Amino acid sequence: MGDLDFYTDQQLLRLVADGDEEAFTLLYRRYWEVLFVRAVKVIGSREDAADIVQEVFLSIWHRRAELVITGSLGAYLQTSVRYQAIHYIEKNITRRNYLEQLTELANRSDLSPEALLQAKEVQQVVHDTVRDMPPRGLAA
Protein backbone atom coordinates (compact mmCIF):
# COMPACT_ATOMS: atom_id res chain seq x y z
CA MET A 1 0.00 0.00 0.00
CA GLY A 2 2.66 2.50 1.03
CA ASP A 3 1.92 5.92 -0.43
CA LEU A 4 -1.86 5.49 -0.40
CA ASP A 5 -1.87 5.10 3.38
CA PHE A 6 -1.61 8.87 3.73
CA TYR A 7 -4.42 9.71 1.30
CA THR A 8 -7.66 11.12 2.64
CA ASP A 9 -10.90 9.21 2.17
CA GLN A 10 -11.96 11.67 -0.53
CA GLN A 11 -8.70 11.20 -2.42
CA LEU A 12 -9.10 7.44 -2.21
CA LEU A 13 -12.72 7.66 -3.37
CA ARG A 14 -11.58 9.56 -6.47
CA LEU A 15 -9.09 6.78 -7.20
CA VAL A 16 -11.76 4.15 -6.58
CA ALA A 17 -14.06 5.94 -9.05
CA ASP A 18 -11.32 5.38 -11.65
CA GLY A 19 -11.20 1.67 -10.79
CA ASP A 20 -8.18 1.66 -8.47
CA GLU A 21 -8.46 -1.63 -6.56
CA GLU A 22 -5.59 -0.78 -4.22
CA ALA A 23 -7.37 2.39 -3.06
CA PHE A 24 -10.58 0.41 -2.58
CA THR A 25 -8.74 -2.21 -0.52
CA LEU A 26 -7.29 0.51 1.69
CA LEU A 27 -10.74 2.02 2.33
CA TYR A 28 -12.04 -1.45 3.10
CA ARG A 29 -9.27 -2.05 5.63
CA ARG A 30 -9.80 1.36 7.23
CA TYR A 31 -13.47 0.81 7.91
CA TRP A 32 -14.21 -2.92 7.92
CA GLU A 33 -13.69 -3.60 11.63
CA VAL A 34 -15.75 -0.72 13.01
CA LEU A 35 -18.58 -1.49 10.57
CA PHE A 36 -18.45 -5.19 11.42
CA VAL A 37 -18.65 -4.49 15.17
CA ARG A 38 -21.63 -2.17 14.61
CA ALA A 39 -23.46 -4.77 12.50
CA VAL A 40 -22.82 -7.54 15.07
CA LYS A 41 -24.27 -5.34 17.81
CA VAL A 42 -27.42 -4.75 15.76
CA ILE A 43 -28.13 -8.25 14.45
CA GLY A 44 -26.21 -10.48 16.83
CA SER A 45 -24.68 -12.75 14.19
CA ARG A 46 -21.01 -12.47 13.26
CA GLU A 47 -21.46 -14.33 9.98
CA ASP A 48 -24.44 -12.25 8.88
CA ALA A 49 -22.74 -9.05 10.04
CA ALA A 50 -19.73 -9.87 7.85
CA ASP A 51 -22.11 -10.41 4.91
CA ILE A 52 -23.76 -7.05 5.54
CA VAL A 53 -20.43 -5.20 5.55
CA GLN A 54 -19.38 -7.05 2.40
CA GLU A 55 -22.62 -5.98 0.70
CA VAL A 56 -22.02 -2.34 1.58
CA PHE A 57 -18.52 -2.39 0.13
CA LEU A 58 -19.62 -4.38 -2.90
CA SER A 59 -22.30 -1.77 -3.55
CA ILE A 60 -19.70 0.99 -3.39
CA TRP A 61 -17.46 -0.84 -5.85
CA HIS A 62 -20.32 -1.44 -8.30
CA ARG A 63 -21.48 2.19 -8.10
CA ARG A 64 -17.98 3.68 -7.91
CA ALA A 65 -18.20 5.67 -11.15
CA GLU A 66 -21.40 7.51 -10.23
CA LEU A 67 -21.15 7.51 -6.43
CA VAL A 68 -20.81 10.97 -4.88
CA ILE A 69 -20.17 11.18 -1.14
CA THR A 70 -19.88 14.82 -0.09
CA GLY A 71 -19.70 14.34 3.68
CA SER A 72 -17.80 11.95 5.87
CA LEU A 73 -17.18 8.53 4.32
CA GLY A 74 -17.25 7.00 7.79
CA ALA A 75 -20.71 8.40 8.48
CA TYR A 76 -21.92 7.30 5.04
CA LEU A 77 -20.66 3.75 5.66
CA GLN A 78 -22.16 3.63 9.18
CA THR A 79 -25.53 4.69 7.78
CA SER A 80 -25.29 2.16 4.96
CA VAL A 81 -24.54 -0.66 7.40
CA ARG A 82 -27.41 0.43 9.64
CA TYR A 83 -29.87 0.36 6.73
CA GLN A 84 -28.53 -3.00 5.51
CA ALA A 85 -28.95 -4.38 9.05
CA ILE A 86 -32.51 -3.07 9.22
CA HIS A 87 -33.23 -4.64 5.83
CA TYR A 88 -31.74 -7.91 7.06
CA ILE A 89 -33.91 -7.85 10.17
CA GLU A 90 -37.04 -7.06 8.16
CA LYS A 91 -36.26 -9.94 5.79
CA ASN A 92 -35.57 -12.41 8.59
CA ILE A 93 -38.12 -11.26 11.16
CA THR A 94 -40.06 -14.52 11.01
CA ARG A 95 -36.97 -16.61 11.76
CA ARG A 96 -35.83 -14.77 14.89
CA ASN A 97 -37.41 -12.83 17.67
CA TYR A 98 -35.52 -9.57 17.04
CA LEU A 99 -37.98 -7.40 18.88
CA GLU A 100 -37.22 -9.24 22.11
CA GLN A 101 -33.46 -9.15 21.42
CA LEU A 102 -33.51 -5.45 20.61
CA THR A 103 -35.54 -4.64 23.71
CA GLU A 104 -32.92 -6.49 25.73
CA LEU A 105 -30.15 -4.59 23.93
CA ALA A 106 -31.86 -1.21 24.39
CA ASN A 107 -32.13 -1.86 28.14
CA ARG A 108 -28.40 -2.54 28.60
CA SER A 109 -26.63 0.07 30.68
CA ASP A 110 -23.19 -0.33 29.09
CA LEU A 111 -24.16 1.10 25.69
CA SER A 112 -22.95 4.46 24.46
CA PRO A 113 -25.68 7.06 23.86
CA GLU A 114 -25.17 6.64 20.09
CA ALA A 115 -25.46 2.85 20.25
CA LEU A 116 -28.53 3.15 22.46
CA LEU A 117 -30.16 5.55 19.99
CA GLN A 118 -29.40 3.23 17.08
CA ALA A 119 -30.78 0.23 18.98
CA LYS A 120 -33.98 2.14 19.71
CA GLU A 121 -34.29 3.17 16.03
CA VAL A 122 -33.90 -0.42 14.89
CA GLN A 123 -36.31 -1.56 17.60
CA GLN A 124 -38.94 0.87 16.27
CA VAL A 125 -38.45 -0.35 12.68
CA VAL A 126 -38.84 -3.95 13.80
CA HIS A 127 -41.91 -3.08 15.84
CA ASP A 128 -43.48 -1.26 12.86
CA THR A 129 -42.63 -4.13 10.51
CA VAL A 130 -44.18 -6.73 12.81
CA ARG A 131 -47.26 -4.55 13.28
CA ASP A 132 -47.72 -4.22 9.51
CA MET A 133 -47.27 -7.93 8.74
CA PRO A 134 -50.39 -9.83 7.69
CA PRO A 135 -51.72 -12.39 10.17
CA ARG A 136 -50.29 -15.89 9.82
CA GLY A 137 -52.03 -17.92 7.20
CA LEU A 138 -53.09 -14.86 5.19
CA ALA A 139 -49.72 -14.19 3.60
CA ALA A 140 -49.48 -15.22 -0.03
Pinpoint the alpha helices (H) of the chain. Answer: 9-17, 21-43, 46-62, 73-92, 98-106, 113-132
pLDDT surpasses 90 at 17: yes
Residues in CB range of 56: below 8 A, 6 or more apart: 35, 77, 80, 81, 84
pLDDT surpasses 70 at 24: yes
Tell me the HSE value of 102 on the side-chain side, using a 13 A CA sphere. Answer: 23
pLDDT surpasses 50 at 13: yes
Fold type of domain 2-94: Rna Polymerase Sigma Factor; Chain: A (1.10.1740)
Cα(104)–Cα(91) distance, integer angstroms: 21
Lowest mean pLDDT, pick from 29-33, 77-81, 104-108: 104-108
Q: What is the mean pLDDT of the chain?
A: 82
pTM: 0.67
What pLDDT sits at residue 76?
A: 95
Answer whether 137's CB lies under 8 Å from 106's CB. no
Answer whether 81's CB lies under 8 Å from 35's CB. yes
- 98 pLDDT band, cuts 50/70/90, is low
Lowest mean pLDDT, pick from 20-24, 87-91, 134-138: 134-138
Answer whether 82's CB lies under 8 Å from 38's CB. yes
Q: Which residue has the higher pLDDT, 94 or 87?
A: 87
